[in-house]
């Protein structure tokens, strides 16, 4: 924080504040009064005109720590204010404070209309979230047993949504045991989550946790959006940014987290404009924040279960939480779900010992151990290279004869340079052994000789492709190919618009589309392309309505 303090906590000049007055309303706060409070939605961004206010980190266990004082020219806000979600810190007036309060909708206007100031403010909001992520105090407290699949699932959910949190291991942390005793929690109820608003959740799922943290936003059911985007991966986020920046009212839903499979990649090195590479999470977080800047309404996690034509005009999507979202057009960007091995007891170890991505969380779990990785594509290569920095040895198991046919050359060279990676061609996993959900060994077979081998391995990583996430469309009549991928204009009859499905006004982009190139760059390109098509479609609808 010290090296970038000027960027994290910039001071606005009087002339700059004057330029921003049209976006806000002056307010006075008395000594000890809260400007914003942990777990509640903030009134907006506060520009301090006079007096002094203090930011305090306040966790659900009652620990409080002064973070920074704001004086004249400072502004108080972080990313939660831009998204309209509950804030993660307390803001308290130390003296009588005069502040210019800019509400969230006007803050977005400021970002667009005052480009130079908006850029400085946006950078500060992002960096302040990074500081909170690193502080270990902000956000919910999770108590569970280390390595428990349910605990890891919650941690992954918060990590992939860029939400600060603090985890305590019940088996080794005295504070965790004290919490369990204080709240009279049975061990069978672990993991528990104490949300910033004080609410206690017992072994919640992601949707319950998202609701408690205010991540799942209530959608305006009376509104008919110009475009509704299902899926917040690279394709969906690109479509959202282009749609909202061009003036279309846009709503986005995703059942898990922003970023899709790309967000779980430890390093993307072949994406244009990043010669030194970038983590998938960093790239997708930038896109997510960009979409918020332009006013995209988001509800994550919110699972869509059905798509129907609206009786009046356009379409209606039904969600698992019984919301009905209406829009004039729909973009399906639901991507694909991870493919699994056909091994009877695989599910017993999923989440804690069988993994479908390799993040720092999984890296810590397998530190200094031998691990096995199944797959031969770029995702597998990126994961193997990362895991080699954490694990004692990485076995890459693949059905093919070599990596050349399926993996980029730069990754092959990097794998060959790692002494602790062993590539095993024409080899397949045939068995997993363990007890009580703890993987103890992996058995594989050489397909050329039939010879089997067993290694003491506690963590198995699967990167064997993906199946289209289209089960929710089965009752809709959206046309798909034999593998379940959505058919679009090139595969359908003449007269269809680019990327349009067999339903007029419903489009498909990214990995879920039949024939798409499964790359981040191509998904982003389709996200941009589909909005140009959408403009033409909506213009036609407007013309017909006028006629």
Q: Token pair of 9, please?
A: 């906590």
- CATH number belonging to domain 141-209: 3.40.30.10
Residue 425: pLDDT over 90? yes
pLDDT at 337: 87
pLDDT at 495: 75
CA 495 – CA 270 distance, rounded (Å): 35
For 337-353, write each residue's pLDDT tens digit.
889 999 999 999 998 99
For 143-198, write each residue's pLDDT tens digit.
999 889 899 999 999 999 999 999 999 988 888 998 899 889 998 899 999 998 88
Residue 60: pLDDT over 70? no
- Give 547's pLDDT tier (boundaries 50, 70, 90): low
Instruction: Tell the CATH topology of 224-336+470-546.
Output: FAD/NAD(P)-binding domain (3.50.50)
Contact in structure between 77 and 5 (CB atoms under 8 Å): no
CA 418 – CA 422 distance, rounded (Å): 9
Q: Name, in order, each residue with C-beta under 8 angstroms of 110's C-beta and a sequence gap of 6 or more.
A: 20, 23, 102, 117, 118, 121
Q: Please tell me the CATH superfamily of domain 346-464, with its number.
A: FAD/NAD(P)-binding domain (3.50.50.60)
Residue 137: pLDDT over 90? no
Give the strand pairing for 53-58 and 64-70: antiparallel
Contact in structure between 38 and 87 (CB atoms under 8 Å): yes
Q: Name, in order, each residue with C-beta under 8 angstroms of 376's C-beta and a sequence gap of 6 or more.
A: 396, 398, 399, 400, 403, 406, 407
Q: Token pair of 98, please?
A: 């005069």
Contact in structure between 179 and 125 (CB atoms under 8 Å): no
For 452-467, write each residue's pLDDT tens digit.
999 999 999 999 988 9
* Burial readout 162-195 (b: 16 or more C-beta within 10 A, e: otherwise): bbbbbbbbbeeeeebeebbeeeebeeebbbbbbb
What does pTM read for this prediction?
A: 0.90
CA 477 – CA 492 distance, rounded (Å): 14
Domain with residues 2-135, CATH architecture: Sandwich (2.60)
CA nearest neighbour of 236 among 506, 529, 523, 538: 523
CATH topology match: 2-135 vs 141-209:
no
Sorted by where each begins, the domain ranges of the chain are: 2-135, 141-209, 224-336+470-546, 346-464
- Give 61's pLDDT tier (boundaries 50, 70, 90): low
| Residue 542: C-alpha distances to residues 244, 314, 329, 451 (Å) | 18, 12, 12, 67
């Amino acid at each position: 924080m010290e090296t970038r303090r000027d960027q994290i906590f910039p001071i606005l000049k009087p002339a700059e504040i004057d330029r921003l007055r049209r976006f806000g309303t002056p307010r006075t706060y008395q000594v000890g009064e809260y400007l914003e409070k942990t777990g509640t939605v903030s009134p907006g961004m506060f520009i301090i005109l006079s007096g002094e206010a203090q930011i305090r980190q306040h966790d659900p266990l009652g620990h409080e720590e002064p973070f920074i004082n704001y004086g004249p020219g400072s502004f108080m806000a972080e990313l939660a204010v831009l998204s309209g979600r509950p804030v993660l810190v307390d803001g308290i007036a130390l003296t009588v404070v005069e502040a210019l309060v800019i509400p969230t909708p006007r803050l977005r206007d400021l970002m667009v209309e005052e480009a130079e100031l908006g850029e400085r403010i946006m950078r500060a909001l992002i960096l302040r979230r990074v500081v909170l992520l690193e502080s270990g105090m902000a956000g919910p407290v999770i108590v569970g047993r280390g390595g428990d699949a349910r605990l890891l699932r919650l941690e992954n959910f918060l990590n992939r949504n860029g939400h600060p949190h603090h985890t305590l291991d019940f088996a080794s942390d005295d504070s965790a045991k004290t919490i369990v005793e204080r709240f009279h929690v049975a061990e069978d109820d672990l993991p528990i989550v104490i949300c910033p608003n004080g609410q206690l959740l017992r072994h919640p799922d992601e949707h319950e946790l998202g609701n408690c943290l205010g991540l799942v936003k209530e959608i305006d059911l009376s509104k008919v959006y110009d475009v509704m985007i299902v899926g917040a991966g690279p394709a969906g986020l690109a479509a959202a940014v282009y749609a909202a920046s061009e003036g279309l009212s846009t709503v986005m839903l995703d059942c898990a987290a922003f970023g899709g499979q790309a967000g779980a990649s430890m390093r993307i090195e072949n994406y244009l404009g990043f010669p030194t590479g970038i983590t998938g999470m960093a790239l997708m977080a930038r896109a997510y924040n960009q979409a918020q800047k332009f006013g995209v309404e988001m509800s994550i996690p919110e699972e869509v279960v059905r798509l129907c034509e609206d009786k009046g005009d356009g379409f209606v999507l039904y969600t698992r939480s019984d919301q009905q979202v209406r829009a004039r057009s729909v973009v399906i960007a639901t991507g694909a779900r991870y493919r699994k091995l056909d091994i009877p007891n695989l599910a017993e170890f999923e989440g804690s010992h069988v993994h479908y991505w390799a993040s720092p969380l999984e890296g810590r779990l397998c530190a200094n151990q031998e691990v096995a990785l199944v797959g031969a594509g770029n995702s597998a290569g990126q994961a193997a290279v990362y895991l080699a920095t954490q694990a004692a040895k990485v076995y890459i198991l693949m059905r093919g004869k070599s990596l050349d046919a399926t993996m980029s050359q730069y990754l092959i060279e990097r794998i060959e340079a790692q002494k602790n990676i062993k590539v095993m061609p024409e080899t397949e996993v045939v068995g997993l052994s363990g007890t009580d959900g703890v993987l103890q060994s992996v058995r594989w077979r050489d397909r050329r000789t039939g010879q089997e081998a067993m290694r003491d391995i506690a963590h198995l990583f699967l990167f064997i492709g993906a199946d289209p996430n289209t089960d929710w469309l089965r009752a809709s009549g959206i046309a798909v190919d034999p593998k379940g991928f959505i058919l679009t204009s090139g595969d359908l009859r003449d007269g269809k618009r680019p990327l349009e499905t067999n339903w007029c006004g419903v489009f498909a982009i990214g990995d879920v589309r039949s024939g798409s190139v499964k790359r981040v760059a191509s998904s982003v390109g389709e996200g941009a392309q589909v909005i140009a098509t959408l403009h033409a479609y909506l213009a036609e609808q407007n013309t017909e309505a006028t006629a």
